[in-house]
Amino acid sequence: MSELNESIRMQIESLDLDSNRPLLLCDADEVLFQFVKGLERHLEAEGFHLDLVSFALFGNIKHSESGAPASRDQVGELLSGFFATRLHELEPVPGAAEALASLADHAEIVVLTNTPPPQRDARAKALERGGMPYPVIANQGAKGLAASALAAGHKSPVVFVDDIPHNIDSVLEAVTRAQAIHFVADPRLRPLIPKAPAALHRVDEWPEAEPLIRKALLG
């Protein structure tokens, strides 16, 4: 069995969570922040664009002049530059801050996001500016191990919200009592991402998601 990355373990151990309260684990990009719109602005400034023909970045990031797909190295450089310089520019998903503020009355909230560790503070500051001052775990890869560590000791319900099906699968395999909401903020992505089969609901607007999450948290 894989072991939890030391950096992630230390982040989790630094949190002061009330284990008697329900736990809401929430992804950031395309759940709390409009990631794709922000990425498109960055790509445009660098002479590229995103062609949303499938749910993938490699092959869909293309040179604006030639239309040729960016190489893997170019995609990596573009994403690294985006995370290093643009996280603070991402716009919150409409209704996210209001929904989480309501849910915070009922649960502990942790943002579990695949963000490069050096950008964890930038992500946290962006959340705070967007009215979402919740602790951030900068995860790497599948989210199951981190979710399991976060949920350890919590006897109350655990709910996970994410846009990517394999993250939902990973968390539900690691935390078998958890329930998941599959949420995709950008309307252009929704037809490209089938509902995660194991998710309790697929819902893509926060005014609709909030009461479903609250019901799951309260058991």
- pLDDT tens-place string over residues 38-72: 999 999 999 999 999 888 888 889 999 999 999 99
Distance in angstroms (rounded) separating the CA atoms of residues 37 and 184: 13
Query: What pLDDT, on the 0 to 100 scale, is given for residue 89?
Result: 87
Instruction: Give bridge partners of residue 137 from the DSSP assignment.
Output: 112
Distance in angstroms (rounded) separating the CA atoms of residues 33 and 70: 25
Question: Is residue 216 within 8 Å of residue 157, measured between CB atoms?
Answer: yes
Written as six digits, the tokens of 22 are: 């329900």
- 73 by Cβ neighbours in 10 Å (0-12 / 13-18 / 19+) ranks as exposed
Give the confidence band of 122 by pLDDT, cuts at 50, 70, 90.
very high
Mean pLDDT over the full length of the chain: 94
Q: Where are the alpha helices (DSSP H) in the chain?
A: 6-13, 35-45, 72-85, 96-103, 120-129, 144-151, 165-174, 206-218
Query: What pLDDT, on the 0 to 100 scale, is given for residue 87?
Result: 87
Instruction: Write down the pTM of the prediction.
Output: 0.94
Q: Are strands 61-63 and 48-50 parallel, antiparallel or unpaired?
A: antiparallel
Residue-wise burial string across 144-159, b where 16 or more C-beta atoms lie within 10 A, e elsewhere: bbbbbbbbeebebbbb
Each domain of the chain, given as residue ranges in start order, spans: 6-34+91-218, 36-88
Query: What pLDDT, on the 0 to 100 scale, is given for residue 53?
Result: 86
Written as six digits, the tokens of 211 are: 């009461």
Pick the residue with more confidence: 4 or 131? 131
Written as six digits, the tokens of 190 are: 């929704």
Range 6-34+91-218 classified under CATH 3.30.60.50: no
Instruction: Report, as an integer, the average pLDDT of 7-25.
Output: 95
pLDDT tens digits along 172-202: 999 999 999 999 999 999 999 999 999 999 9
Distance in angstroms (rounded) separating the CA atoms of residues 175 and 147: 7
pLDDT tens digits along 26-43: 999 999 999 999 999 999
Report whether pLDDT(219) > 80. Answer: no
Report whether pLDDT(123) > 90. Answer: yes
pLDDT tens digits along 95-112: 999 999 999 999 999 999
Query: What pLDDT, on the 0 to 100 scale, is given for residue 150?
Result: 97
Query: What pLDDT, on the 0 to 100 scale, is given for residue 54?
Result: 85
Question: Is residue 65 within 8 Å of residue 129, measured between CB atoms?
Answer: no
Assign residue 58 a region: left if phi > 0, alpha if psi is -120 to 50, beta otherwise?
A: beta
- 171 by Cβ neighbours in 10 Å (0-12 / 13-18 / 19+) ranks as buried
Query: What pLDDT, on the 0 to 100 scale, is given for residue 171?
Result: 98
Give the confidence band of 135 by pLDDT, cuts at 50, 70, 90.
very high
Report whether pLDDT(1) > 60. Answer: no
Question: Is residue 163 within 8 Å of residue 36, measured between CB atoms?
Answer: no
Query: What pLDDT, on the 0 to 100 scale, is given for residue 133?
Result: 97
Distance in angstroms (rounded) separating the CA atoms of residues 75 and 79: 6
